[in-house]
Amino acid sequence: MAAPVIAVIDNGICNLRSVTKALEAVGADVRIVHTPADVATTGADGLVLPGVGALEDCVASLKASGLAGTVRDWIAADRPFLGVCLGMQALFEFSEEGNVQGLGIFPGKVVRFRRPPEFKIPHMGWNTVRFTQTKSALADGLLNEGEAFYFVHSYHCVPADPSLVLAECDYGGVFTAAIARGRCFATQFHPEKSQSKGLQIYRNFAAVAAPSAAIPT
């Protein structure tokens, strides 16, 4: 089977090296992209949007480069997409972090954790993720009842449509840890920092993006 070509968006505020190394480790042919023209010339099978830091900077970078439209069109066409951390938060309509308008691909908002004092913010470190869409391709080979992944965030997504939720995590209350709709996936946790289970996430995404992969119905 031919290795899928995965385009990874460099928006200037992402841990690009660790994401690309993880994708390469599972057999993907990784191309770094900065513009819509870059995406077009790679002939990419899948698109990844990683990000760390402030959502305002992430969204501003995507809009300035023209990649905001690329991401919207890509997801609308149900082409394989993976957002990581800020790459998940950017997909929603609004964030309390700086009162930022997101890309508005999915209805919902991003809110700051409101937890009792014993729960430190940011939520940082390993925590158990429970998959609720048990037949999702992104969860293949992972335990539905719980796998540990690595988080670093102060804000979390609140989808308006509960059917969008792929996985949940409990940190002083349940929050959305991942979403899925068709071949669009996004995680609040960092698969590239989550050892073997994180590599399984990237392996599963690469399998979805593979040229010979069946399109889900």
| Measured distance CA(18)–CA(61) in Å, rounded | 20
Q: Single out the catalytic residue among 14, 85, 157, 184.
A: 85
Amino acid in the structure at residue 20: T
The two three-digit tokens of residue 88, written as one number: 């998940």
| Measured distance CA(128)–CA(131) in Å, rounded | 10
192 part of the active site: yes
Amino acid in the structure at residue 129: V
| Measured distance CA(201)–CA(183) in Å, rounded | 13
85 part of the active site: yes
The two three-digit tokens of residue 186, written as one number: 């996004």
Tally DSSP H helices, then E strands, for the chain: 6, 13
| Measured distance CA(166)–CA(180) in Å, rounded | 5
Q: Single out the catalytic residue among 14, 156, 184, 192.
A: 192
**Residue 185 near residue 83 (C-beta atoms within 8 A):** yes
**Residue 107 near residue 74 (C-beta atoms within 8 A):** no
Q: Single out the catalytic residue among 123, 153, 156, 190.
A: 190
The candidate with the shortest Cα–Cα distance to 34, out of 12, 14, 54, is 12
The set of catalytic residues is: 85, 190, 192
